[in-house]
């Protein structure tokens, strides 16, 4: 990698159109473009990149962006995306660029191999971590995915969509749906809150009593928080109408919490929503699906495991994503990586690959390779 990519500001920022199946988000908004251009940066957006999110080329042009081809967008010094590069994009990866996007390399090892082969400096939104352990660039998408999990779970519980024919909130004299949520992070908590707002009976499981205690003041409706254990999961999952898997291991693969035998023990027409599928999934029987074909029935249980859930609401998701990524984009492009790391130390944990090495321990463990310390990677 050229030394200038590490230390010097990056003159150009490229925004390619997302090509992952059913992905309609875009990595920048016109307001984001305006902010970057005001700081003297050149923004090159592939024509049509914002169409799926309801943002036309004219809006980007008026904000100061250059409308370019896909090749020109990828030729920028800093390429900013929403989702991991697809196989058709591997040829654009270079050792004199920085890629900033959601990567989830534990679930997509072929992407990791392509980044290592190209020597690309790849920054993952989902592993940027503050001192308190929070993940600021993952949080808004986790919030959206959690709320969607309850919404799509309710939809697929309906009989015409393959479900048991259960209304989430029941009705007078009829028991509501039972929802078991595995994990009380941003996704799990938002899934539980939304399901509770639908008047479902919700059981929120997490291994951390401290985390559950911190959420107690905001608990509403028929929502019960319980410290998770293997035995408890084994007892509750077969009784659930809807199971939402929302566990998180930053940079690594999600642990399998529900094995195939437990899925077989669920009632026909029950629903599983595996929010953790972009980390490999936490349900043994989950396989990644798409918005076009969102579910598959396994052992009579509907499995929803869309790898880019927030892509279902691209306008909301794009606005939410850019609201948190923009300061980091400005820092990286305007100052170069080394200075950006000094100003925002949490960015260092976002560095997944550089110069053919894996720099994040969780990613390295998931891929079965030896990591290098991020600072050593930069030397």
Catalytic residues: 104, 278
Q: Are 14 and 74 in contact (CB under 8 A)?
A: yes
> Which residues, at least 6 apart from 374, have a Cβ–Cβ distance to it below 8 Å?
348, 349, 351, 359, 360
Q: Distance between CA 205 and CA 145 in Å, rounded? A: 17
The first and second tokens of residue 82, run together, are 């929403």
Task: Provide long-range contacts, Cβ within 8 A and 24+ apart, for 167-173.
Answer: 168/195, 168/198, 168/199, 168/200, 168/242, 169/198, 169/199, 169/200, 170/199
The angle at the Cα of 183, spanning 374 to 254, to the nearest 5 degrees, equals 45
Strand positions, DSSP E, 198-324 = 201-206, 223-227, 242-245, 271-274, 295-298, 301-304
Name residues whose C-beta falls within 8 Å of residue 80's C-beta, 6 or more positions apart in sequence: 13, 14, 15, 27, 28, 100, 101, 325, 329
8 A C-beta contact, residue 33 and residue 45: yes
10: CB partners within 8 A, 6+ apart: 41, 76, 77, 78, 98, 332, 333, 336
How many angstroms separate the Cα of 54 from the Cα of each of 149, 166, 198, 310, 321?
Answer: 23, 34, 29, 15, 15
CA distance 14 to 125: 17
Q: Quick count: other Cβ atoms within 10 Å of Cβ 321? A: 25
Q: Which residue is associated with the tokens 């997944």?
A: 352
* Cβ neighbours, 10 Å, residue 229: 11
How many residues belong to the chain?
379
Place of tokens 């690959």: 353
């Amino acid at each position: 990698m050229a030394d200038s990519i590490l230390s010097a500001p990056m003159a150009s920022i490229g925004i390619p159109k997302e090509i992952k199946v059913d992905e309609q988000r875009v990595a920048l908004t016109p307001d984001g473009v305006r902010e970057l251009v005001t700081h003297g940066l050149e923004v090159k957006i592939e024509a049509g990149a914002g169409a799926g999110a309801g943002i036309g080329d004219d809006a980007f042009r008026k904000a100061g962006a250059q409308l370019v081809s896909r090749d020109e967008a990828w030729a920028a010094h800093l390429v900013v995306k929403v989702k991991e590069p697809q196989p058709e994009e591997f040829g654009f990866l270079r050792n004199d660029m920085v890629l900033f996007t959601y990567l989830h390399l534990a679930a997509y090892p072929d992407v990791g191999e392509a980044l290592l082969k190209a020597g690309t400096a790849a920054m993952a939104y989902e592993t940027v971590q503050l001192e308190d352990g929070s993940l600021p660039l993952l949080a808004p998408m986790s919030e959206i995915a959690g709320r969607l999990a309850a919404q799509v779970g309710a939809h697929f519980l309906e009989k015409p969509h393959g479900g048991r024919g259960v209304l989430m909130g029941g009705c007078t004299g009829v028991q509501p749906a039972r929802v078991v949520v595995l994990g009380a992070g941003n996704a799990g908590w938002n899934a539980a809150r939304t399901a509770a707002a639908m008047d479902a009976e919700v059981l929120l499981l997490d291994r951390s009593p401290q985390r559950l205690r911190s959420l107690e003041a905001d608990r509403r409706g028929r929502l019960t928080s319980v410290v998770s254990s293997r035995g408890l999961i084994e007892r509750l999952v077969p009784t659930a109408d809807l199971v939402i898997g929302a566990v998180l291991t930053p940079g690594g693969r999600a642990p399998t919490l529900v094995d195939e035998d437990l899925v077989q023990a669920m009632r026909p027409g029950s629903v599983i929503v595996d929010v953790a599928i972009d980390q490999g999934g936490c349900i043994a029987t989950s396989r990644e699906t798409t918005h076009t074909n969102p579910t598959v029935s396994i052992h009579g249980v509907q499995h929803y495991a869309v790898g880019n859930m927030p892509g279902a609401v691209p306008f909301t998701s794009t606005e939410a994503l850019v609201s948190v990524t923009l300061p980091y984009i400005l820092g990286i492009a305007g100052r170069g990586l080394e200075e950006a790391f000094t100003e925002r130390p949490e960015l260092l944990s976002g560095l997944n690959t550089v110069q053919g090495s894996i720099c994040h321990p969780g990613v390295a463990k998931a891929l079965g390779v030896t990591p290098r310390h991020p600072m050593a990677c930069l030397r």
